[in-house]
Amino acid sequence: MSGLSKSLTRSALRPVLIGVGSLILFFIFLEFAVRFGLINQFAVAPPSDIVKAFPRLFAEEHVGDRFLDTAFEAVIASVFVALFGISAGVLLYKVRILRLATETWVAAFAAAPTVLLYPLFLVIFGRNATTIIMMGFVAGLAPVTLKTLEGLSTTRRVLVNVGRSFNLTEWQLFWKILFPSALPTIFVGVRLGLVFALINIVGVEFLINFGGLGALINELSERFDLAGTYAAICFVILVSVMVFMTTERAERWLTSAG
């Protein structure tokens, strides 16, 4: 048993080690490419300078406070996305004529570059956190709606028939059979909505130079602080990776619990 557990541990660690090793090799190549002039040093900062800029982000640029601003906006937008997206998906499932009329439009809206709507939202809400939250909400709404509709529509018909054989009401049928069956798919939609919302929130912060991490990247780039700009971008990427990993683990737990 111990040998089996060791082999499983090694097989699980191998992809992680390969991924980390590949990333390190890429940074080494990038370092030498910039240092020897293969890549313009005014376009890309050497990775060593980026690493050195990280402490400065915390000491001088207050990146922790900026992160909290962005996190607050992302949480509020995600709550709105989950509430309204799931409700819209349920509505489309229940009202067939509405689904036939709007499903294609919702799918098209999911692929649209909604970040371009930010001037309109600036006019409506002003240059403040409300604009950023609403932009994140709009960006994440369509994936949650579509995944909710998909989860409810793909519930096995035999489960619905069993519920009706027990004379369940429509309300009981939804909460005891349809919703639990669709929950893993709905959670995938919520995760996609969160990612879309976070991307748009940081993007709008950058465009209007207001808020948290996006505004920090804007300020650093305007000061021509190349290493600091890339360090801030790397910090945003790390935050996105952590959010993705956390939601992925939550989804696995939810699926296994179901």
**pLDDT one-digit tens code per residue, 87-102:** 999 999 989 899 988 8
pLDDT of residue 10: 60
pLDDT in tens, 218-229: 999 888 888 999
Number of domains, the chain:
2
Same domain? 56 vs 168: yes
192 in a domain, yes or no? Answer: yes
21 and 114 together in one domain: no
Residue 94 lies in a domain: yes
Asked whether the predicted pLDDT for residue 103 surpasses 60, the reply is: yes
Q: Are 161 and 250 part of one and the same domain? A: yes
Could you tell me if residue 62 is inside a domain? yes
* pLDDT tier for residue 1 given thresholds of 50, 70 and 90: very low
Each residue of 190-210: pLDDT tens digit?
Answer: 888 988 899 899 999 999 988
Residue 156 in any domain: the answer is yes
pLDDT of residue 168: 80
> Would you say residue 52 has pLDDT above 80?
yes
| Same domain membership, residue 17 and residue 112 | no
226 shares its domain with 192: yes
Q: What pLDDT digit, counting tens, does each position of 146-188 carry?
A: 999 999 998 888 888 888 888 888 888 888 888 888 888 898 8
pLDDT of residue 188: 87
Q: What's the pLDDT at 8?
A: 46
Q: What is the mean pLDDT of residues 2-16?
A: 61
74/143 same-domain check:
yes
The per-residue pLDDT for range 60-84, each reduced to its tens digit, is 888 889 999 999 999 999 999 999 9
Give yes or no: residues 11 and 112 share one domain: no
Q: What is the mean pLDDT of the chain?
A: 86
Whole-number pLDDT of residue 166: 82
Q: What pTM was estimated for this model as a whole? A: 0.83
| 42: in domain | no
Same domain, 101 and 135: yes
Please give the pLDDT value at position 146: 93
Question: Quick one: 83 and 5 in the same domain?
Answer: no
In a domain, 97, yes or no: yes
Asked if residue 132 is part of any domain, the answer here is yes
Residues 157 and 198 in one domain: yes
Q: Is the same domain home to 127 and 237?
A: yes
CA Rg, the chain, in Å? 23
Q: For residue 113, what is the domain's CATH number? A: 1.10.3720.10
pLDDT at 171: 86
Domain that holds residue 150: 47-257
Q: Verify that 71 and 193 share a domain, yes or no.
A: yes
Instruction: Write down the residue that tokens 């960006």 correspond to.
Output: 139
In which band, very low, low, confident or very high, does the pLDDT at 133 lie, cut at 50, 70 and 90?
Answer: very high
- Answer yes or no: are the C-beta atoms of 210 and 132 closer than 8 Å: yes
Domain-embedded: residue 249: yes
